[in-house]
Amino acid sequence: MKNTIATAMALALFAMSGMTAAASKTTTPEPVKAPVFTPPSEDSIPNDEFGQIVRQGKNIFDDTQHYAKQYVGNSLNCVNCHLASGRKPDSAPLWGAYVRYPAYRAKNKKVNTFEQRIQGCFKFSMNGKAPSADSPEMIALVTYSYWMANGAPVGAKLDGAGYKALPKPAIAPDFNRGKAIYAASCQICHGADGEGKKVDGKTIFPPLWGSESFNWGAGMHQINNAAAFIKANMPLSKGNTLTDQEAWDVATFVMSHERPQDPRFKGSLEETKKEFHNENCKYGETVNGKVLGGAH
């Protein structure tokens, strides 16, 4: 019942935002508010064959290391960047992404399906191999995402989708300021050298750089994306307590460390940088006397 109301409200809001946009053609343009969407609660996953695959998708999402380990090349789980099993707003929630595909992506200059988008996650963020579109793991992840987006308007940019873009900071982001913020607010969980923490071999706090982290091709390595994620979600439970400037500074610090090579590497750092790393990125730059992306 609650879900029905939430869905109806979301649809109504969406319809209203559409009307505003239509009306604004003749009058003063008004900013269009993104529709608000609440995903169904976890305990409403149906107890049938469909629900079983939804649960399998959630398991893969929360414990990728165990349920999809053949596709993972680092210590991460999907849930590390998509908090709360992929439902938290401003943490790239699945319900926000599902309704936006197929979409044209500048990353590969093609229209990508949702499956292809997830394949990208495995290739870059998980530094692994892409599961095929018809693999059980992919079917489960897509099913889980579809279930979570149940009732969301197709094609809508929902409130809380993706990471909320942060305006450029007042002063240029700085490695040393970021280092101090990292020591004060991040190190307790992610370790002094960004290595994260494991218990009984399982990653509890994800590594932020180094061989066990995401590679140079992952969206998160872009400083603007990382700053947006950090601002809204970090430290865990204390989202939106860092200033925009602090989020940019600490993101700059974290992304100024070595990580696995971009799988699109062209054989030359300069060429790869030119083609894929033009903006918001330290790849190919020299930090503390070392060229990032070159240690391979």
Partner 1 sequence: MKHILLAAMTCIPLMAQADDAARTITTQGNKQGATACMACHGADGGGTAAAGFPRLAGLNAAYIARQLHDFRSGKRNNPLMQPIAKALSDTEIQQVAAYYAAMPAPAAAPAGGDPALLRKGEALATTGDWNHEIPACFQCHGPAGKGIEPDFPAITGQSAVYISNQIAAWKSGARANDPVGLMKSVATKLSADQVKAVSTYLANHPLTNGNQQ
From the number of C-beta atoms within 10 Å of its C-beta (0-12, 13-18, 19+), residue 263 rates as middle
The one-character DSSP state at 220 is G
Nearest distance, CB of residue 233 and partner 1, angstroms: 9
- Told to check if 199 binds partner 1 by CB under 8 A, we report yes
Judged by CB under 8 A, the chain residues 228 through 247 that form the site for partner 1 are 235-239
Cis peptide leading into 153, omega within 30 of 0?
no
d(CA 159, CA 17) in angstroms, rounded, equals 12
- Told to check if 168 binds partner 1 by CB under 8 A, we report no
- Told to check if 191 binds partner 1 by CB under 8 A, we report no
CB nearer partner 1, residue 19 or residue 188 = 188
Nearest distance, CB of residue 153 and partner 1, angstroms: 21
Among the listed residues 15, 23, 165, 188, the single contact to partner 1 using CB under 8 A: 188
CB nearer partner 1, residue 48 or residue 200 = 200
What is the length of the chain? Answer: 296
Contact residues for 151 (Cβ-Cβ < 8 A; gap 6+) = 3, 6, 7, 10, 11, 37, 40
Judged by CB under 8 A, the chain residues 95 through 154 that form the site for partner 1 are none
CB nearer partner 1, residue 56 or residue 233 = 233
From the number of C-beta atoms within 10 Å of its C-beta (0-12, 13-18, 19+), residue 176 rates as exposed
CB nearer partner 1, residue 51 or residue 191 = 191
* CA 282, 284, 286, 287 torsion-angle sign: positive
Nearest distance, CB of residue 287 and partner 1, angstroms: 26
Among the listed residues 2, 69, 202, 274, the single contact to partner 1 using CB under 8 A: 202
| Concatenated DSSP letters of 62-85 | H-HHHHSGGG--SS--GGGTSHHH
Q: Which residues are near partner 1 by CB under 8 A? A: 42, 83-85, 87-88, 184-185, 188-189, 197-200, 202, 204-205, 235-239
